[in-house]
Amino acid sequence: MTHQQQSSQIRKEISRSYQHLKEKYPILKHQDFWGLLIFLVSLLLVGINSYLWWTGIWPAWAMILVNAFFFGILHELEHDLIHWMYFKAHKAVHHTMLFLIWILRPLTINPWIRRQLHYHHHKYSGTLHDVEERGVTNGEKWSVKRFLLTADLVIGGLFRVRSLFKDIKQEVKNGNLKPDLSHKLRQYSLTGLIPVTIIAHLLVYLLLSSLLLDLFNTSFNTGLQLPVFLTTILEYCRPVIYIILIPNILRQFCLHFITSNLHYIGDVEQGNVIEQTQVLNVWWTFPLQVFCFFFGWTHAIHHFVVNETFYVRHLARKKAHEVLRQYGIRFNDLGTFSRANRFKEQP
């Protein structure tokens, strides 16, 4: 079978399993209801969890872990919204959900711009101009730098933007990318960070600077301090930092680590879905999976059947994994870490 025939057969069999599941449980067909319910319950539990910390009932570390878990669910919900799976006929509700989820995950890029990059990702997954995956370290050799910058879209982006734009320019010269699309990709890469993502990262950098300064003072018995206006900003933003930013640093590191290593890049045949992803569910990734709602378990399924909700993917993943194995989709190809996420072994 050609890869197109294999992909088509995988889609048919997984779609059939989804259909059987919905016939067995008809309530799953009400996507708008489930999307809104998951959204509201997540907001409620984040609010209760944060209140318990704020009033001193709940320790900070527990609040951070719980919020990171629910922000991981909201990320999956945003991903479904980007594919217009909820409230397509009620755009005011759709865009309100998208906006509120973004504000609760402000270290990510503008979701309306991400929609364009994500559609490009599906169409050109694994190519050198797959900006969405290149933006989260995919394709880079593993190093201390990659590890430290895995969660960072701003400073991390500055480190990789030159290489990314160089590859985009070369792809245009090679005839693999149209010049107008090249311009849009470069524009999206920059404007998607303005202003929310950059502001959120600056607060994180300020917090990190304060912690490092405290460590330096303790180690060398000095009395250095940040300028008063910066310490005032830190104190004023303390609720935002603890309730939203720190949980999202954890969530974003886990998601970027998982997604950048389950996607292949650099030598993937364009349009060949068979080569685009693997299932990454090896046991030691479990702590990371918790905070990105087990993204590594189900994202390969999504590449074959795009327009299905994340909760149905999870409910039907056992059958889907059987189908993926049958047609040779890789599971836990840990060699990707030494191959800089290339699909093939490097010479």
Report the b/e string of 304-339 with b at 16+ CB within 10 A: bbeebbbbbbbbbbebbbebbeebebbeebeebeeb
Q: What is the mean pLDDT of the chain?
A: 96
- Mean pLDDT within 14-40: 97
Give the model's pLDDT for residue 345: 83
- Mean pLDDT within 45-65: 98
Q: Using the predicted structure, report yes or no on whether residue 82 has a pLDDT greater than 90.
A: yes
Give the model's pLDDT for residue 315: 97
Say what the pTM is: 0.96
Residues 316 and 28 sit within 8 Å (Cβ to Cβ): no
Give the model's pLDDT for residue 347: 53
Q: Percentage of the chain surpassing pLDDT 70? A: 99
Give the model's pLDDT for residue 223: 86
Q: Kindly report, residue by residue over 87-130, the tens digit of the pLDDT.
A: 999 999 999 999 999 999 999 999 999 999 999 999 999 999 99
**Spacing of C-alpha 191 from chain mean position:** 18
Sequence spans of domains, the chain:
3-337
Sign of CA dihedral 22, 317, 83, 33: positive
Sign of CA dihedral 264, 268, 270, 275: negative
Identify the H or E element spanning 261.
helix 246-262
Give the model's pLDDT for residue 1: 79
Q: Kindly report, residue by residue over 209-238, the tens digit of the pLDDT.
A: 999 999 999 999 888 899 999 999 999 999
Residues 31 and 86 sit within 8 Å (Cβ to Cβ): yes
Residues 271 and 53 sit within 8 Å (Cβ to Cβ): no
Q: Using the predicted structure, report yes or no on whether residue 50 has a pLDDT greater than 60.
A: yes
Burial of 3 from C-beta contacts in 10 A (0-12 / 13-18 / 19+): middle
Q: Please state, in angstroms and as integers, the Cα–Cα distance from residue 290 to each residue in 203, 278, 297, 319, following that order.
A: 25, 18, 11, 21
Q: Percentage of the chain surpassing pLDDT 90? A: 97
Sign of CA dihedral 242, 243, 247, 249: negative
Q: Using the predicted structure, report yes or no on whether residue 284 has a pLDDT greater than 90.
A: yes
Burial of 180 from C-beta contacts in 10 A (0-12 / 13-18 / 19+): exposed
- The three-point CA angle 46-47-52 to 5° equals 100
Q: Kindly report, residue by residue over 330-344, the tens digit of the pLDDT.
A: 999 999 999 999 999
CA proximity to 298, closest of 8, 55, 18: 18
Q: Kindly report, residue by residue over 255-269, the tens digit of the pLDDT.
A: 999 999 999 999 999
Helix 91-103 to helix 31-54 angle, to the nearest 10 degrees?
Answer: 30
Q: Kindly report, residue by residue over 305-326, the tens digit of the pLDDT.
A: 999 999 999 999 999 999 999 9
